[in-house]
Amino acid sequence: MQYGKLGQANVTVSKICLGTMHFGTVTPEDESMRIMDRALEMGINFFDTANVYGRRVSAGLTEEIIGRWFAQGNGRREQVVLATKVYGQMNNDSNPPPNEDRGVSSYKVRKHVTDSLRRLQTDHIDLYQVHHVDRRIRLEEFWNTFERLIYNGDVLYMGTSNFPGWVIAKYQMYALQHGLLGFVSEQAQYNLLSRYPELDVIPAARDFGIGLIPYMPLAGGILTGKKPIVEGSRTQSVIAEYGLRVESSQLDTFSAFCREIGETEQVVSIAWVLANPVVSSAIVGVRTVEHLDGLDRAAEFKLSPEQMTRLDEMFNINSGRPLGKGEAPEAFAW
């Protein structure tokens, strides 16, 4: 396994981050335990979860499973850089109680962090991430809320997820002006089929020394070489949910490229994400122990400049547009 620093934080994380979203829903608890054991054996020391994971079965279920795994001892908790999230509604009620809808506030976060710590059976969260942008909260309340958690020792580092570049810059500038460390990471959907973060999220993260933690580096399984995309399959639902533009000829060309260089589609897809110097670690959500196979290879495999160029042309975010490509504003202006 390969390792690096998490953005500007002086903490070391594996280049592969174990995503636990399926624990307790798609993946039974016993298999989830085996996945975490095997991940640790492989050298994966970075685990990502969220308080809302498992909600459709039971509120906080995924965190509870991780907590029961930690409780088995043998240094499990001490070996893991643990990340979880706050923002979402913890039940499926269409009319949630006041202060329990989506968003963050001092009132809500204090309760939710206490609940996460209890479920995870730990005394601190290493990386606490705001799961989405709450456009209603003032900067003063936001940073007072989370700095209090850091001061109390409940949280070590702060991160974001699904934040646009302009919001990252706005919040980070406030933090720096007030002598705070601010965010150390941003978690965004980023893969060969979803390159929107290149417009402004990645430039903002790079400028502020924030580490990107891409989720869905395999685009929900689309970039693993599985064909065809079956009607009603999870892969098809991912395409619809995230609005991905998938062309079979494009995937065929990609698979041929992978065969040419002697690597699997999974390895190449993850290696491409990790090749971006802003990326600290790639989150791979696995459903079975077997899904861990090859992830250590993906962490160490390096694509050549020529191979990167070919992949860039193969999955060009600006394909068919008359203007440039890459970062804003050149992606849509002169």
Q: Write down the catalytic residue from 3, 53, 157, 196.
A: 53
Q: Answer for the pair 128, 50: CB distance below 8 angstroms, yes or no.
A: no
Tokens found for residue 293: 């196979």
Q: Is 174 a catalytic residue?
A: no
Q: Answer for the pair 185, 159: CB distance below 8 angstroms, yes or no.
A: yes
Contacts with 65 (C-beta within 8 Å, 6 or more apart), sequence order: 20, 23, 24, 29, 32, 33, 54
Q: Which amino acid is at 216?
A: M
| Cis peptide preceding 329, ω within 30 of 0 | yes
> Can you tell me which residue has the tokens 């209890």?
118
Contacts with 201 (C-beta within 8 Å, 6 or more apart), sequence order: 163, 164, 165, 168, 186, 188, 212
Q: Answer for the pair 87, 134: CB distance below 8 angstroms, yes or no.
A: yes
Tokens found for residue 59: 């509120």
Q: How many helices (H) and strands (E) does the chain have?
A: 11, 10
The backbone torsions φ and ψ at residue 8, rounded to the nearest 5 degrees and listed phi first, read: -85, -5
For the annotated catalytic residues, the residue numbers are 53
